[in-house]
Amino acid sequence: MNTHETLRLLGVSDDTLSSSQMNQLDDYGYFVVQGLLDEKQLKKFRYRLDELYEKEGAEAGLELTHEVGCPRLTNLINKDQIFDICFTHPIVLAAVSHIFGSEFKTNSLNYRDTLPHYGLQRLHPDYDHPVEPGSFFKCNALWLIDPHTGENGSTRFVPKSHLSGQHPRKAMANHYDPHPNEIILNEPAGTVVICNAHMWHGGTCNTSGERRRTLHASFIKREFDQQLTERHFIQPETYERLSPAFRYLLDVD
């Protein structure tokens, strides 16, 4: 098994992405697809995420991280097969393949919400140093389970910053500040935003108090370590229900 065969088995073809989507990824660092989850699916996601968070309590998200004012969950592939789509949707996989152009695997699948007056993050890429174009190795897909309204802790991006050769820590006096070129997501629930993780991004403060439940599916080139090492966490019942292609993607064989 290799990534090319895995993508074919998971429904990716040469025309899964439009030329416009590929150009947006290359030039701006991201593109947006509305309606990948319908309202029936969204209701199931909301119910299950809230149920898991209530069940895990103080342990929620601790497989990886804890953030004050921002409910977190992770290791979600082991917690419900409803989340499989976040790693296996053909549009997402085709975009990751386009960015990397080589073998890749999952990195982690995390959930983040923001409580009122919390959520502001510094602008950051998902790597500590600038990466030259053509050497990108991380990609994210943001699954919006609630709308991002621009006031409820929406994600912000700086388009084209993945091409800048700079890190915001050095390029800005304070990388918590707004950037003159940033865009703040204002998209309906069910939208997926696929982005080059080397583009500068971060959460904003939730000033409206509305929910902004979001799933972050991350991918990484195959030679790098995963953020969540799936083979250390995979449960027998999860492994048994996964196809060989999905097991390869998770790197659990």
Q: What is the reported pLDDT for 94?
A: 98
Residue 191, both tokens: 């939208």
pTM of the shown model: 0.97
What does the pLDDT profile of the chain (253 residues) look like in tens digits?
899 999 999 999 999 999 999 999 999 999 999 999 999 999 999 999 999 999 999 899 988 888 999 999 999 999 999 999 999 999 999 999 999 988 999 999 999 999 999 999 999 999 988 898 889 999 999 999 999 999 999 999 999 999 999 999 999 999 999 999 999 999 999 999 999 999 999 999 999 999 999 999 999 999 999 999 999 999 999 999 999 999 999 999 9
Strand pairing class (201-203; 155-157):
antiparallel
> From CA 90, how far away is CA 17, in angstroms rounded?
9
Closest CA to 247 of 106, 76, 74, 83: 106
Cα dist from 219 to 87, 155, 249, whole Å: 9, 18, 9
Cα 60 to Cα 110: distance, rounded to the nearest angstrom: 11
Sign of CA dihedral 78, 82, 83, 88: positive
Q: What is the pLDDT of residue 66?
A: 85
221: exposed, middle or buried (C-beta count within 10 Å: 0-12, 13-18, 19+)?
A: buried
Q: Residue 9 corresponds to which amino acid?
A: L
Across the chain, which distance is largest between two alpha carbons, in Å? 51
Q: Which of 111, 112, 119, 113 is nearest to 207 (CA)?
A: 119
pLDDT at 102: 87
Percent of the chain with pLDDT over 90: 93
The DSSP result for 184-203, as a single string, is E--B-TT-EEEEETTS-EEE
Q: At 43, list the tokens.
A: 């209701």
Query: Contact, 136 vs 162, CB < 8 A?
Result: yes
- Token pair of 220 as six digits: 């990484």
- For 87-130, what is each residue's pLDDT tens digit? 999 999 999 999 998 899 999 999 999 999 999 999 999 998 88
- pLDDT at residue number 114: 96
Coil, strand or helix: which one is 20? Answer: helix
pLDDT at 63: 87
Helix axes 90-100, 19-27, angle to 10 degrees: 50
C-alpha–C-alpha distance, residues 226 and 106, integer Å: 7
